[in-house]
């Protein structure tokens, strides 16, 4: 996939449990180790105009073709397709059992707004072949990060049909304002206090500029709000607190804040009914 959605982008045999530290932070994130057997088929979704049969390190794949198709469809390109690979050997992957802790740690990293930089840091410090996040996009729809994609053998590709009339919604003024406020607050604080990921920043720029948002992205926004509802109202959320604006508040605003959550709910309801 062309970048994580949490572009944290396989199934395997569960091996022994362990605890490892996510690079850039001091909090231990519980992981277990899985083995991806030799010959396992994995998929990578892309919309690139260039032809390629190898992936740059690090890269994301999935054992679920549906995940790859989803990324191919959201690439906004005419050559949406799924690349198919198989593993040349068995791979040891760290399983991130607590996605919420992992995401929070990522958001707290100083100066690592780009998920690829975060992944490179992880790969430089781990003895494993990469990581896997189980059920990241739904049941049995996992993400796999591979530190060295040369472990993959190219099998072929399949085109993905992208509807020419895919539905999209234009962010209203209050959603645009919330996203812009998030960007402004982030710019006003020291680098060590800046929140958000590369994905969140990209979302804020799209929303604040009024760019039409597809149904697939709206679903991702819904998922974000559901995961981070627990952060609402924590210290640093309200003006006057010494930690205001907190990283959590900045990130929440990047996705449109409370107006964005209400707007996403309304749009998805309309899309489900087929309203114009």
For domain 13-159, say whether CATH 1.10.600 is its number: no
- Interval 54-103: pLDDT, tens: 999 999 999 999 889 888 876 555 678 999 999 999 999 988 766 565 66
- Interval 26-52: pLDDT, tens: 344 455 889 999 999 999 998 877 788
**11 CB contacts (<8 Å, ≥6 apart)?**
34, 36, 40, 63, 140, 142
pLDDT at 86: 96
Which residue matches tokens 């001091």? 26
Q: Could you tell me which residue, 110 or 96, shows the higher pLDDT?
A: 96
Q: What is the pTM of this model?
A: 0.53
Does 163 have pLDDT greater than 80? Answer: no
Residue 135 DSSP class: T
Please count the helices (runs of H) and the strands (runs of E) in the chain.
8, 11
For residues 222-227, average pLDDT: 92
Q: What percent of the chain has pLDDT over 90?
A: 39
Does 11 have pLDDT greater than 70? Answer: no
Domain map of the chain by residue range? 13-159, 168-273
User: Distance between CA 32 and CA 271 in Å, rounded?
Assistant: 39
213-214/130-133 β-pairing: unpaired
User: Distance between CA 115 and CA 108 in Å, rounded?
Assistant: 12
Q: By the 8 A CB rule, do 161 and 72 touch?
A: no
Does 181 have pLDDT greater than 70? Answer: yes
3-state SS record for 44-83: EEECCCCCCCCCCCCEEEECCHHHHHHHHHCCCCCCCEEE
pLDDT at 5: 35
Tokens for 241? 């607190």
């Amino acid at each position: 996939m062309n970048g994580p959605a949490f572009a944290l982008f396989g199934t395997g045999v569960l091996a022994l449990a362990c605890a490892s530290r996510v690079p850039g932070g001091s909090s231990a994130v519980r992981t277990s180790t899985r083995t991806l057997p030799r010959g396992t088929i994995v998929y990578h979704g892309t919309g690139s105009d260039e032809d390629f049969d190898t992936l740059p390190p690090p890269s994301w794949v999935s054992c679920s073709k549906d995940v790859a198709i989803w990324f191919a469809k959201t690439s906004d390109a005419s050559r949406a397709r799924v690349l198919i690979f198989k593993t040349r050997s068995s791979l040891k992957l760290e399983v991130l059992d607590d996605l919420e802790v992992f995401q929070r740690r990522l958001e707290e990293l100083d100066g690592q707004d780009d998920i690829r930089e975060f992944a490179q840091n992880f790969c430089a410090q781990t003895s494993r072949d990469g990581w896997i996040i189980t059920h990241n996009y739904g049941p049995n729809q996992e993400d796999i990060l591979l530190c060295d994609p040369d472990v993959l053998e190219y099998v072929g590709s399949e085109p993905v049909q992208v509807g020419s009339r895919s539905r999209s919604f234009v962010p209203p003024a209050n959603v645009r304002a919330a996203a812009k406020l998030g960007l402004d607050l982030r710019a006003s604080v020291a680098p060590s206090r800046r929140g958000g990921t590369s994905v969140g920043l990209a979302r804020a720029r799209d929303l604040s500029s009024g760019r039409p948002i597809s149904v697939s992205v709206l679903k991702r926004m819904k998922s974000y709000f559901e995961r981070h509802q627990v952060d609402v109202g924590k210290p640093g959320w309200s003006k006057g607190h010494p930690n205001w604006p907190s990283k959590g508040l900045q990130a929440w605003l990047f996705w449109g804040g409370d107006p964005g959550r209400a707007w996403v709910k309304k749009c998805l309801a309309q899309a489900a009914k087929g309203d114009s």
